[in-house]
Each structure stands twice: as structure tokens, then as C-alpha cells.
Amino acid sequence: MIHKIRAAHKYVHKRVLIQLYIFVVAVLVVLGVVSFDLIQRQISLPLAFLGLVTGILIGFVAALAARVKWHEESQKVILTRDKLSILLIALYIILRISSRYFFNEFIPNSELSAFTYSSLGGLMLGRLLGIMNNINKVLKLQQIF
């Protein structure tokens, strides 16, 4: 597996690798916040798990729209500008601002913030996994793997 990842670096554009590394760091930070909230009992484990799983599913589906393709000139995998990411960030901001109005009946105020972070962590993790899956598909189509 490690050999496969190292080999993939050679065929993935540097900008895409940087974006993936940033995603990894962001996911780790957000999931760290969720873990801290779990330890502090700001959110219950089932609710955190629900937010994480829901976010992963939405993120993975959203990653299907990511435009990962093979660039013939550079012989590398590229990721074209992704308008969906901007839309998802905007939706997250809107959700974060208005969440107290929409979810207040279902989720207590004290757990709402942690649930939002859990969902965001799942969303980012799902997109990361989905984009990595798309990169793998492109490399297989090019008969690199």
C-alpha cells in the first residue's frame, strides 16, 4: 500500500498533492475538536457518529463531481477548479449561522456546535476519500496501477 502511494505521487500534480495534504490537516483538526468535545461530554457518541457518517456520505457523493482528470502534456493527474467546494463552504457557513433555528428542536443547543463540527469533519473526510478514489480510477485508466 505504501509503495502504491509513493508511486502515485510521481503521477499526481503538485498542486493536487498540496490540496490533499491541506484536506488531511483540516480533517485531523476538525476531528480533533470533535474528539475533545466527546471527552468534555459536549456531545453524545451516537450524535457525533451520526454527524460524521452523514458528512462522509455527503462528502463522498460531492467528490463524485470533482473533476479529476489526466493531463496529457504533463503526464499527471490534475484537479480542475472545483466550484462545488465553494458552494459547500457557503452552505456550511449558512448552516452554521442558521443551525439554531433549524435544529434547535432536535438537538440541544449545547450539542449543536459539536454536531456541526462532526458533520463538517465527515464532509471533509468524505471528499478527501472520494477525490483519492477518483485519482486512483484515473491512474488505473492510464494503466499506471
Per residue in 40-93, pLDDT tens?
988 889 989 999 999 999 888 888 877 888 888 888 888 876 676 677 667 767
List beta partners, residue 78. 69
Cell, residue 73: 502534456
What residue ranges do the domains of the chain occupy? Answer: 2-141
Output the pLDDT for position 65: 79
Q: Which of 107, 119, 6 is nearest to 57 (CA)?
A: 119
Q: What is the pLDDT of residues 20-32, one digit of tens each?
A: 898 899 899 989 9
